[in-house]
A and B are shown apart, each in its own frame.
Chain A
Amino acid sequence: MQIVFNQVKADYQLGPIRTANIINEVNLLIADQSFTAVIGPTGAGKSSLLKMINGLLLPSAGSIQVGEYSITPSCKKQTLAAIRKRVGMVFQFPEHQLFAETVEQDIGFGPTNFGFSREETRLAVIESMGKVGLDPALLQRSPFSLSGGQQRRVAIAGIIATKPDVLVLDEPGAGLDPEGKREILTMIQELHDNHKLTTVLVTHDMDDVVAYADNVVVMANGQVMCQQKVEELFADKEALVKWKIDLPEPLRIQRCIEEQCGRAFSSASLTLEALADLLLKEYFA
């Protein structure tokens, strides 16, 4: 599903205090079936942007078009329910939302809420456990007795069990060891490819951006600074400095080499293979 932000503003209202706009004049187009990474410093409004796609944070002005649905400041509850069924949202540390007695009940919670029948729920639970790589033997275990990595898989399974068309994720790899993080993200990429999902991923790690995303959205102070193809952004030296964007590992190595030999190379390498090719080309061509 295509997601369009149209002149969107939003703030968190706190009693009588109205905070400054946490999202300010955002215009954004996220294409159907694209994999978009959202980056930016802490407090830039990345998580709020995700919440808006799911209707958890309503705009104070403007509108958001999610597929055929439209989120406006005065949006009906039925529309929001329909949107939430189509948009799966994985929060930071999603395992904190686990509550049920068994893994089966927890994964089945979303489908039940969205009106799946008992049989459909059972099938959806088993199917999504397979997708996230959980052993079906865990079905009757308590989610609290599982390891951290498994808990996170259960939580993600609980979200994809409702068969969303859009998946929005807020740092799904946070707090995991590098191995666990790569497994989770690879799994998400497989879901994205196999089910034609539109995926929006918030991350701090530029290596993740390069490895998984096609598009990247840079945010700062509640505004979208730019939206580009991943390769275009990292090729644009000025933009990287201007928005204080960290470099992915291969590009950082390339910059070190460039500094040592005192000249800039023709292109920016985003993978180690590309860097090796580039070095061969620069020195032996």
Chain B
Amino acid sequence: MNKLMMGRYFSGDSFLHQLDPRTKLFATLYIIALLFFVENIWGFLLLFAVTFFIMHQTGIALVAFINGVKPLIWLILFAVMLRIFFTGGGIVYFRAGPVMLSSFGLITGFYTFSRFVLMIFISTVLTLTTKPIDLTDAIHALLKPLQIFRISINDFALMLSISLRFIPNLLDETTKIVDAQRARGVVFGKGNIIQQMKKLVPIVLPLFASSLKRAEELADVMEVKGYQSDQKRTRYRQLKWQVRDAVALLMIVLLTAAVVFVNRL
């Protein structure tokens, strides 16, 4: 239960930790988009090198990033297998009906694998080096243009930060309830899938009950304290654009240029 590494913030004072969350969020999305423009093996090698450099810069052990990939490894392998066995072209080594193994298939398989892994690595860098609350601010900032369409960004940001805020509480509570039910004789990881699903009821129901209760109390408290969602709000944490953010964006531009150049090789 405590092994959820994705989205866990590691404190530190690296260049990446100090970057403005808006820059980090934008750069992450940009690099992920860039992954889809890479067309050859050199491009992927370049992006692997850049990603590993960024990961090294965070000062966080590699194992934390690998753990981010672990829960998704079967999904990734499934997608890669589809790519490998259903893509034709180049030298065909083996063929059985629609299934085949070709040199082209192997290469696209490698591309798919690299895209997935790099995507997870890069987004893990974001979540490991950015406090959830900063991330919410960044999302809020990037969504601001939507206000033109009269969509209430503030409500959305508030919902987001409240849910992020209560994730640790929910995890704690889950651990406690799991322990309490284990003490009452529930054995997890035993029996067929239906039996296993049934065992979740004694955990999920108390969690729902307490979450609903807490949501109600929180809403009451906010109302008592005079919270109104349609008011103009000032912010406690002011985001400031700094030199290092400009440097980071410049590096992004250089990376784009490098990708464009490498694509021509």
Contacts and interface: CB of A to CB of B under 8 A. Distances in A.
Interface residues on chain A, size class: 20 to 34
Interface in B1-55: 2-3, 5, 8
A172 B185 CA distance: 20
Interface string B136-180: 000000000000000000000000000000000000010011011
Tell which of B63, B173, B184, B206 has the most Cβ of chain A within 10 Å: B184
B184 A109 contact: yes
Contacts of B190: 77
Contacts of B206: 96-99
A79 to B, nearest CB: 12
Contacts of A77: 187, 190
B182 interface: yes
B185 A81 contact: yes
B183 A84 contact: yes
B205 A99 contact: yes
Nearest to B186: A113
Interface stretch (A10-18, A127-135, A178-186, A246-254): A10-18
Interface residues on chain B, size class: 20 to 34
Contact of B176 (A54, A85, A91, A109): A91
Contacts of A150: none
A6 B55 CA distance: 44
A158 interface: yes
Contacts of A109: 184-185, 202
B61 A16 contact: yes
A44 to B, nearest CB: 18
B64 interface: yes
Contacts of B67: 15-16
Interface in B196-226: 201-203, 205-206, 209-210
B185 A110 contact: yes
Given A12-B2, A15-B5, A91 B202 contact: no
7 contacts: A16-B61, A16-B63, A51-B179, A84-B182, A91-B179, A97-B181, A99-B202
Given A15-B2, A15-B64, 18 more contacts: A14-B2, A51-B179, A56-B179, A77-B190, A84-B183, A84-B185, A91-B176, A96-B173, A96-B177, A96-B180, A96-B210, A97-B177, A97-B181, A97-B206, A99-B202, A99-B206, A113-B186, A158-B184
